[in-house]
Amino acid sequence: MCCRIDRIFTDENIVVLTITGRVREEHIETLRGLLEQEVVPPVLDLQNVMLVDREAVKFLALIEARGCQLRNCPLYVREWVTRERKEARGGASPEAPKWDRTSKMLGANRTPRTKRSRVDWSTGLGNKHPSS
């Protein structure tokens, strides 16, 4: 498996994108497309991320700066994202989705409960699978 993204819609009308596996530069466009579909910044749950490359970390730093919450971030990824954000201050890229800053952000301890869909990108086909 390379990268899997599960979209969870919680009871609180919050979208959580749970990422599993490896996040590399070739996955950024897919992730960007999924993020652009959301009206408010979603929460990215990175608990099951095993590996990220530099371009993925730069993108995570950028979307976090734009209001997307990174939840359950592995320590090495958190430190790397923090470092990238410090380096990138003052020059935001237009490539990341932009959300309304007045939208309500979540607390980190909320647990998703309902409506799941999964996108399996390991095949390169982007097939949607019903969740069990």
Determine how β-strand 116-120 pairs with β-strand 127-130.
Answer: antiparallel
pLDDT at residue 2, as a whole number: 86
Could you report the per-residue pLDDT of 66-123, keeping only the tens digit for each?
999 999 999 999 999 999 998 887 554 545 555 554 443 333 334 444 556 565 555 4
CATH number, domain containing residue 106: 3.30.750.24
Could you report the per-residue pLDDT of 37-73, keeping only the tens digit for each?
998 889 999 999 999 999 999 999 999 999 999 999 9
Distance CA 78, CA 74 (A): 6
The total number of structural domains that make up the chain:
1
Tell how far CA 28 is from the center of its chain: 10
Count of CA atoms in the C-beta half-sphere (13 A) of 35:
27
Determine how β-strand 43-52 pairs with β-strand 116-120.
Answer: unpaired
The pTM (predicted TM-score) of the whole model is: 0.68
Looking at residue 61, the DSSP 8-state letter turns out to be H
Q: Which amino acid is at 5?
A: I
What range does the domain containing 13 cover?
A: 3-130
